[in-house]
Chains A and B, each alone.
Chain A
Amino acid sequence: MSLDEQPNPSPQPTAPALTSFVAEAAPAGPEGEPSVIRRYLQTRGSGGLADRVFAGLMLLCGLSIFAIVLFILWILIDRSKLSLAQFGFHFFLRSAWDPVSGDFGALPFIFGTLATSLLALAMAVPLAIGVAVFLSELCPAKLRAPISFLTELLAAIPSVVYGLWAVFVLVPIMRDQLGPVLYQYLGWTGFFEGYNFGEGLLTASIILAIMILPIISSITRDIMLAVPISQREAVLALGATRWEMIRTGVLRNARIGIVGAVILGLGRALGETMAVTMVIGNHPVISKSLFAPGYTLASVIANEFTEATGDMYLSALIEIGLALFLVTIVVNAIARALVWAVTRGTPARVH
């Protein structure tokens, strides 16, 4: 206003200018007065700049995930150039691992990683869902808190402690009690053949199953508790039994979340290093028998990286890291595709 006055000091009275200012500020107000909310907002500034800065910042946070993943991928590829050049993509399909002659391949390690993780899932998922169903639907109130607490405690135990427990407790049980029984009754399948020393793929899978059980069960429980009570009541009101109510009212509604929990568990199983190294036998072979020793991608890196002599050896170990990265991505992608295929366009149904 004063800026206007200076170059052109017109004899305009000040009063009409004031009214026009008010009219401009609240053009649509039929009462002539801006609302309380609008006045409050005006004191907070226009907000245009702040909004844009905020949006930009959040975009940056979101993009940082891409940046981190790409950076890891770039480093892995860059550092494994030597081995990539030597073996190409056949690296992932070769089963040699000979540091003496410099002949490397990742297949036995990929096999060991996938076999132990999937077996662990097969054991842990039914048990975890059972625990979650019991906790959220059937558990007497007195028992609920201690069981929940213990489940979360299991999730907090460091993996080296699981490994030690496995070495001193699980391995002898596998060797002397469980192994012989499996051989006697299921030996004909060919999965329980050969000499059983207590260590091997099966023992590693069992310890992995115990480790991922609390993750899957506690997330599943939370998801099931998030299903509205009205769903349960509605199903019960239609005359369903308790089991029918859980199956159609709860599990069906929670299934996408449960799959998410399973994927999280799978992620931990794929990358678990210490506990697996201690009981898997660390021998890179591909065997049908679950008593046979195996080796995982994460274990071989942890075992051999510090004393790796020679550039090709180091490069091959980093390419093993690349293989683990790719296996994780592929397995996750398959799991998500599966979820998408199964749940596409199917709302919660009762039948």
Chain B
Amino acid sequence: MENVRRIELVDVRQAASLGAREKQVKLKWIAAVLTVVMAGVAGAQNINAAGATFPYPIYNRWFTEYAQAHPNVHINYQSIGSGGGVQQTSEGTVDFGASDMPVADEKIAAAKVKFWNLPTVLGAVVPVYNIPGVSQTLNFSGDVLADIYLGKIKMWNDPRIAKDNPGVNLPAKGILPVYRSDGSGTTFIYTDYLSKVSPEWASKVGKNTSVQWPAGIGQKGNEGVAGMVRQTPGAIGYVELIYALQNKIDYGAVKSKDGKFLKGTPEGATAAAASAAKAMTTDFRVSITNAPGADAYPISSFTYMLIPVRFADPAKGKAMKDFLGWMLAHGESEASGMGYAALPKPVADKVALAINKIQ
């Protein structure tokens, strides 16, 4: 018994020392890699950012491309959501943030770090639906969409839907409104639009990243909404334009402020921004939903970077200014290829002016 135990002990000891040796080797490796990395980074500018998930794909591409062209600047972006982006920017735990909706006055006033809302690209939201036997693209007026989501229009063959869609054989089928259950900028844009076109929506529900939906069911993410609509006859939902384009989902047209039925496109969103730009001051926190203009798609919105007015580290501020300049000059041209809408010229010019003021 004693002998056996001793042998076991010896084995264990050997194993332990082997493990320790392996650990030492590993540690040496890590140390070596770290020193190499540190040497490479020495003198480099690390910028940390966090915020909205919607623009993450294009931001990520910009930051990667910019780091390739400027090896001494590294921008680390974490897509933690707009709410977290606003909070971390105002507390100064990140160098800059990003948000899908403009930050409210009282939040800016309460922030430890003062920051600007600079628009970067635009997104649009489109209605998707599944009606058995209907293959045509449907037209929706804003007030009809609002009343569907208010639960007042309950059937697809409702005369108000039929009025916008002459010649379409709409079935007597119940409507199931599907909304985003997770808080999202998409919901903010959509409810912002509904609030503008329906006074009842504005007073009963309002606009936010999540609202108290009067009817329907909630699904997580664009994929959840699109999936539910696809497999439920009679369902209607709303998704980001990007998501619909990438997944080749057909979507409906929405009546613009000028009375035309428009299908959502990146160009339509840019046109909406251009028409709103006329009334824009240096404060970019404007809603461009239901904007006037022949081609202005009504459910469009800016997404913002939250840039501190003054950087504590002047080198960092300089690096940030350089990046934003690069973004306007080169980055914007990549937007429409990825399904985002680029800023229209007048807005981009105003953003360039604001960038110059960063300290």
Contact = CB atoms under 8 A, between A and B. Distances in A.
Interface of A: 96-101, 167-168, 171-172, 175, 195, 197-200, 277-278, 281-284, 293, 295, 299, 302-309, 314
Given A100-B212, A293-B217, 4 more contacts: A172-B231, A197-B217, A199-B217, A307-B81
Contact of B210 (A96, A99, A199, A200): A99
B212 A197 contact: no
A281 B218 contact: yes
B232 interface: yes
Contacts of B86: 309
Interface string B201-232: 00001111111110011111000100110011
B182 interface: yes
A133 B228 CA distance: 39
B176 interface: yes
B181 A309 contact: no
A304 B183 contact: yes
Nearest to A309: B83
Interface of B is mostly: loop
Interface string B174-185: 101000011111
B232 A304 contact: no
A278 B83 CA distance: 23
B231 A307 contact: no
Nearest to B187: A307
B66 to A, nearest CB: 26
Contacts of B208: 99-100, 309
Contacts of B220: 277-278, 282, 303
A96 B53 CA distance: 28
Contact of B219 (A96, A175, A282, A307): A282
B92 interface: no
A171 B208 CA distance: 29
Contacts of B83: 305-309, 314
12 contacts: A99-B183, A99-B208, A101-B206, A197-B232, A197-B235, A278-B219, A282-B218, A283-B216, A293-B217, A305-B83, A307-B185, A308-B83
B209 A309 contact: yes
Interface in B304-358: none
B96 to A, nearest CB: 18
B211 A100 contact: yes
Which of B209, B216, B224 has the most chain A CB within a 10 Å cutoff? B209
Given A167-B227, A283-B217, A303 B181 contact: yes
A282 B82 CA distance: 21
Most chain A CB neighbours (cut-off 10 Å) among B185, B207, B211, B218: B218
Contacts of A277: 181, 220
B181 A98 contact: no
Given A172-B231, A309-B86, A195 B213 contact: no
A304 B210 contact: yes
B156 to A, nearest CB: 13
Nearest to B186: A307
Given A277-B181, A307-B184, A171 B231 contact: yes
B209 A195 contact: no
A304 B104 CA distance: 19
A197 B176 contact: yes
A282 B212 contact: no
B207 A100 contact: yes
B209 A308 contact: yes
Contacts of B212: 96-100, 284
A81 to B, nearest CB: 17
Nearest to B233: A175
B51 to A, nearest CB: 10
Contacts of A168: 231
Nearest to B218: A282
Contacts of B211: 98-100
A309 to B, nearest CB: 5
Contacts of A175: 232
B213 A307 contact: no
Given A278-B220, A293-B217, A198 B209 contact: no
Nearest to B195: A100
Q: Which of A171, A197, A293 has the most chain B CB atoms inside 10 A of its CB?
A: A197
Among A195, A277, A299, A309, find the residue whose CB has the most chain B CB atoms closer than 10 A: A309
Contacts of A99: 183, 208-212
A84 B308 CA distance: 33
Nearest to A308: B83
B252 interface: no
B4 to A, nearest CB: 19
Contacts of B104: 309
B80 interface: yes
Nearest to A163: B220
Contacts of B232: 175, 197-198
Contacts of B205: 100
Contacts of B183: 99, 303-309
B2 to A, nearest CB: 12
The 6 closest A-B pairs by CB, nearest first: A307-B183, A282-B218, A306-B81, A282-B181, A100-B206, A281-B217
Contacts of A100: 205-208, 211-212
A282 B217 contact: yes
Interface string B102-135: 0010010000000000000000000000000000
